[in-house]
Structure 1
Amino acid sequence: MRFIKGNKNAEDQNLLDMVPLLKEGLTIEQGNDFVIVFMPRQSWIERQAVRFLNQPAIIKVKLDDLGAAVATRCDGQHSISDIAMSLQVEFGEAAEPLIPRLVKFVELMEVNQWIEWKPIMD
């Protein structure tokens, strides 16, 4: 599984040691019982859809509790293992199977271009 595009040593890195960072332009709004990620539509095709097809300029994605906990911790300060430990403490058995779920969610965040990876200093 390759998580860092263009990095020749990406497959040698342990995902648990990697540090995700929400991409610039994404914002998170926290309410009493919800968390929403706001994603501006920035590609050329998306801008045309907004302009000519009357599509919304910002996509809103409502996250469940686990997704919200992960997304809010993607601040460039927490590694994936740090996030996993904090989820285990916060949610306990409700988060199980923790690591497979976390890996899949992080993979989806990367595929949808929500995160980038902070360089790991050796």
Structure 2
Amino acid sequence: MAKKTSKKDLRNYLDFIPVHHEQYSYTVSDNGAVTVYVENKGVFNKIAQVVFKKPRISQIHLDEMGNFIWPLMDGKNTVYDIAEQVKAHFGEKAEPLYNRLVQYMRNLESYGFIRFKE
């Protein structure tokens, strides 16, 4: 039985241009580590903040490859351009490059950290 593919699956992510979402602020430390700040909103988060002493703003620390990729998502570079720079910087350590990078971009998009210009 053939697998059904949606239009979303048929999009070519390599042609997309990722851009940081304006809703989230971030900082880049001197050593290049990126931290994205997410405000915890909503009733349940307010309760958790009071009862469990959870922070109002969560800090998301990116991994080594994420730290390299984040500044490249400036609204000018396509995913393909970013992939080429990742390949030049990390070499074999980044393989399987395209599958890994596209999945990473999908994850960032699903969390709302980035959006794509097509």
Which of residues 10, 13, 17 in structure 2 aligns to 1:15?
A: 13
Q: Percent identity?
A: 27
TM-score (norm 2): 0.77
1:86-97 correspondence runs (5 A): 86-97=85-96
Unpaired runs of at least 5, structure 1: 3-8
Deviation at 1:25, TM superposition (A): 2.5
SS of the counterpart of 1:94? helix
- Once the two structures are superposed, residues 9-28 of structure 1 have per-residue CA deviations (whole angstroms, 9 ceiling, x without a partner) of 65553110011111113222
Distance of 2:48 and 2:91 partners within structure 1 = 42
Change (3 A) 1:18 1:58: same
Give the paired residue count: 113
| Higher Cα radius of gyration | 2
Deviation at 1:74, TM superposition (A): 1.8
1:1-122 correspondence runs (5 A): 10-33=8-31, 34-43=33-42, 45-47=44-46, 49-50=48-49, 53-118=52-117, 120=118
Distance of 1:70 and 1:30 partners within structure 2 = 12
SS of the counterpart of 1:25? coil
Provide the aligned C-alpha RMSD in A: 2.3
- Once the two structures are superposed, residues 25-57 of structure 1 have per-residue CA deviations (whole angstroms, 9 ceiling, x without a partner) of 322222233221112224554355445653212
Unpaired runs of at least 5, structure 2: none
User: Would you say the 8 A contact 2:34–2:70 is kept in 1?
Assistant: no
Deviation at 1:102, TM superposition (A): 0.5
Distance of 1:18 and 1:43 partners within structure 2 = 32
Distance of 1:62 and 1:83 partners within structure 2 = 20
